[in-house]
Amino acid sequence: MLIIGAGPSGLYAAYYAGFRGFSVAVVDALPEPGGQITAMYPEKDIFDVAGFPTVKGRALVDGLLEQANQFKPAYFLGEQAVALSDDASGVTVTTDAGTTIRAKAIVITSGIGSFKPRPIPIGEEWVGRGVVYFVPQLAEHTDKDVVIIGGGDSAFDWAWALQPIARSVTLVHRRDQFRAHASMVDKVRDAGVRLITSAEISDARGADGITEIDVTYKADGSVESLPANTVVAALGFIANIGPLADWGLQLEKRRLLVDTTMRTNHERVYAAGDITTYPGKVPLISVGFGEAATAVNNAAPLVDPSHGVFPGHSSGESAG
């Protein structure tokens, strides 16, 4: 079985396919497994994964890898799946590195596809000189003056994570309302983070790295200068689902339409996680896990007709 995408849904699908006794290959365009978690928030606390009241992104990915690796999947990392062809007995996927992988069934867990951060108002010249899009290592910002741009959940997550270690944290949002959870906004405000609304970052200064930024208030055009060694641009991402848009699979709003078995309109192509859509879809890690189990188990009879859909219980107990 081939899994396209090594995010949380793909890694759990790899575990499940191994547990069902299949040989498994996992392809990901990124050089490291973990999908959005590894790329964007490895050090963030995640609160809504079943069984973990709190888990850091990196720890969750490590656990998923350990679980999947029991069955020794073959990883093809740093390779984007670009083409799909099929015949009566299976499907063939080709990567941009020229690798061809033949499988009886595939599970597409390609999430939001490739993603690149939305550009910041002060231009790209400061990226790497104080401006960051992700915070892979919180400790790098110890005792720094941090300015976070954005008003959504990520902006507040970073503010919350950085406020205990940074010298100061200021959040600047161009609107007067935040999109983040109200409870998180209150928590961050109560922790002493300064929240500036209806204002935009308009300039930055510094030699090797940023030392100061200007914030321009929309109401009267006045400008305030703030000390800043780190500017976290949490303005969201422009996502692109990439080549699989041309694979003849039924799409709705750039997501793969699946039925209740997580099957696409191709009989050997299943999907799970953020890439899927159906009425009532909620794009969360926990939902992706359930969908991955549903997809792999429903695809199981295609890989080996002696397999049923239900896997039995992993604890080995039998109902009789």
Ligand X SMILES: Cc1cc2nc3c(=O)[nH]c(=O)nc-3n(C[C@H](O)[C@H](O)[C@H](O)COP(=O)(O)OP(=O)(O)OC[C@H]3O[C@@H](n4cnc5c(N)ncnc54)[C@H](O)[C@@H]3O)c2cc1C
Binding residues for ligand X (CB under 6 A): 4-10, 27-30, 35-37, 40-41, 46, 48, 80-81, 109-113, 154, 242-244, 273-274, 283-286, 288
| Residue 210 CB, nearest approach to ligand X (Å) | 22
* Angular region, 270: left φ>0, alpha ψ -120 to 50, beta rest: beta
Could you tell me if 216 and 225 are in contact, meaning their C-beta atoms sit under 8 angstroms apart? no
By beta-carbon proximity to ligand X, the closer residue of 178 and 215 is 178
By beta-carbon proximity to ligand X, the closer residue of 109 and 264 is 109
Burial of 34 (C-beta count, 10 Å sphere; 0-12/13-18/19+): buried
By beta-carbon proximity to ligand X, the closer residue of 226 and 284 is 284
Instruction: Quickly list H helices, the chain.
Output: 8-19, 35-40, 57-69, 153-162, 182-190, 285-303
CA distance 320 to 63: 32
Could you tell me if 119 and 199 are in contact, meaning their C-beta atoms sit under 8 angstroms apart? no
| Residue 319 CB, nearest approach to ligand X (Å) | 31
| Residue 130 CB, nearest approach to ligand X (Å) | 20
**What DSSP letter does each residue of 182-208 carry, written as one string?**
HHHHHHHHHTT-EEE-SEEEEEEEESS
End-to-end CA distance of the chain: 29
CA distance 303 to 161: 44
By beta-carbon proximity to ligand X, the closer residue of 73 and 111 is 111
| Residue 145 CB, nearest approach to ligand X (Å) | 22
Amino acid at 192: G
| Residue 12 CB, nearest approach to ligand X (Å) | 8
Q: Looking up tokens 């039924």, which residue turns up?
A: 250
| Residue 316 CB, nearest approach to ligand X (Å) | 28
| Residue 220 CB, nearest approach to ligand X (Å) | 33
CA distance 50 to 260: 22
By beta-carbon proximity to ligand X, the closer residue of 159 and 244 is 244
State the residue number with the nearest CB to ligand X. 111
Give the residue among 247, 245, 256, 254 at the shortest CA–CA distance from 295: 256
| Residue 84 CB, nearest approach to ligand X (Å) | 10
Residue 222 CA, distance from chain mean position? 38
By beta-carbon proximity to ligand X, the closer residue of 120 and 215 is 120
By beta-carbon proximity to ligand X, the closer residue of 22 and 134 is 134
By beta-carbon proximity to ligand X, the closer residue of 10 and 73 is 10
| Residue 47 CB, nearest approach to ligand X (Å) | 6
By beta-carbon proximity to ligand X, the closer residue of 25 and 172 is 25
What would the two tokens of residue 302 be?
Answer: 């295609």
Could you tell me if 108 and 26 are in contact, meaning their C-beta atoms sit under 8 angstroms apart? no
